[in-house]
Amino acid sequence: MRVVVPEQATGRLTEAWRACVGTGRFELALRRDYQDSLALIQREIGFRHIRGHGLLSDGVGVHRPYEYQGSRHVRHAFTYVDQVIDAYLDLGIRPFVELGFMPAALASGDQTVFWWRGNVTPPGSWTEWADLVRATVAHLVDRYGLDEVRGWPIEVWNEPNLTNFWQGADEAAYHRLYEVTAHAVKEVDAGLQVGGPALSPGADDWLPRFADFVAARSVPVDFVSKHAYSSGPAQHVPFGVHQTLTPAAGLLAQFATPAALLRDTALAGLPVHITEFNSSYRPDNPIHDTAFHAAYLAPVVAGGGDLVDSFSYWTFSDMFEEEGVPTTLFHGGFGLLTHRQIKKPTYHLYAFMARLGDQVLARGADHLVTRDGTGRITVLAWAPVDVTGREPAPDRHTVQLSLPLAPGASTAFLLRSSVSEEAGNAWRAWHEMGRPASPHARQLDALREAAEPVRRHASLPVVAGRVALDLHLSRHEVTLVELTAVADETPPWWHDERLLGQPTGEEPA
């Protein structure tokens, strides 16, 4: 059945989908290959903020206690902080600041998370922690300017509802951490944005209690943050995991939860940031690398901005060491840094989003239609997926649309870009190569070429100001169609039939 897309816009496409993107631990951004990959992503997608763990962990070296004349002192050093943020700003992206983890010399215990050992215990001295927060935030303001840093959200910790990320998942201790931290941030400047509690899925009951706590004690909160994932428990295999998935609609339901739960609290109406989202939270789950993944997340990326102020893909980079140094060519992010940006289908989903217009004309279960200020019509469409794996996805899915185009045009130029099981799929090509652990130069060249979307073009008739578009999508395909009205500038003497020198019977006198 053909969907007749209206001429008048029904709304605007928000920037929530690219307001933020996730990254690995903070100091990875010192690497040249990391910066090269981020530069590519910024050119083709253009994220506004970037968020990762470990700003205050020992690898960044901010908290530097020392002994002098028999007493303990603390020096706050920002060499790595400055280098990373300078690189970010040069690439047109700004920090979404996550305050964590605990410096070892300030920690009350020795529990750590990840291969790089981020300490997840409360501070041994709350006063010293407040000093650290104040010094860090004040340094950012001094170096980058108050107006700039007021635009950087500051989030307190990461997933304190999980024992892996906060000792004992102690809610009262987190409330104290939030209170001390938020006041320290506001002591630098009242206009700075601070928020939390950065909850993982399954802890929504923390949100009303967090609202009650901050209201009762007049603790500042400028935004609410949580995470959204759709994967089940990890099924471990050597150097990786497999997980079941719930339907992608469950991610959108998780996006909607904070506003619903906080509707009758003191935090009602605050901005909501999903500071991590994905199918799986595990970088070593190969699902991230597949065409299935792009089609699975397409309705979330296309529709999430109707529910929240931002949602941050976890993560942009394959240089990601939570479970150790990557052991395979593919490792959880958009593309592989150390082999010069081999892109994945989910990367192209985001690159397609960057080419959409800002006026929304129509939404459907399998498509999004937009228009930009020039009249260019863009269609993002995706094939359905089956998360159970029990039923094979159909080899063909059809989307039929009637699209409005600029009046007066008789033809339209169509440019279509697609990724699928067969197209734009370096993961599939790598499998067909025999999954080489260390691909040689020619294999890498082939993988980079295989990773590019397939592009097609055509001329379509415009009838009564409309274009009939029939999209036949293959299994797990995500496609972007761009339609522009044609202004024919063919000179009167041009004849395609004469390319081989044959006369047309219409020779000039």
- The vertex-75 CA angle with 191 and 53, nearest 5°, equals 60
Beta-bridge partners for 463: 466
Contact 186, 194 (CB under 8 A): yes
Cα torsion through 437, 443, 446, 447, rounded to 10: 10
Structure-token pair, residue 184: 């320290």
- The vertex-43 CA angle with 328 and 272, nearest 5°, equals 85
Contact 140, 194 (CB under 8 A): no
Q: Which position has the token pair 């906060």?
A: 166
Q: Pick the catalytic residue from 276, 421, 477, 482.
A: 276
List the alpha helices (DSSP H) in 91-219: 126-144, 146-149, 171-188, 206-216
Q: Which position has the token pair 């009350």?
A: 108
Q: Which position has the token pair 């060491």?
A: 321
**Is 67 noted as a catalytic residue in this protein?**
no
- The vertex-406 CA angle with 402 and 412, nearest 5°, equals 65
Contact 367, 380 (CB under 8 A): yes
**Is 322 noted as a catalytic residue in this protein?**
no
Q: Pick the catalytic residue from 98, 159, 322, 421.
A: 159
Distant-in-sequence, close-in-space partners of 419: CB < 8 Å, separation ≥ 6? 291, 294, 345, 348, 349, 425, 453, 454, 477, 478, 479
CA 351 – CA 345 distance, rounded (Å): 10
Is residue 215 helix, strand or coil?
helix
Give one DSSP letter per residue of 158-178, joined into a string.
S-TTSTTTSGGG-HHHHHHHH
- Sort strands 396-404 and 63-68 into parallel, antiparallel or unpaired: unpaired
Catalogue the active-site residues. 159, 276
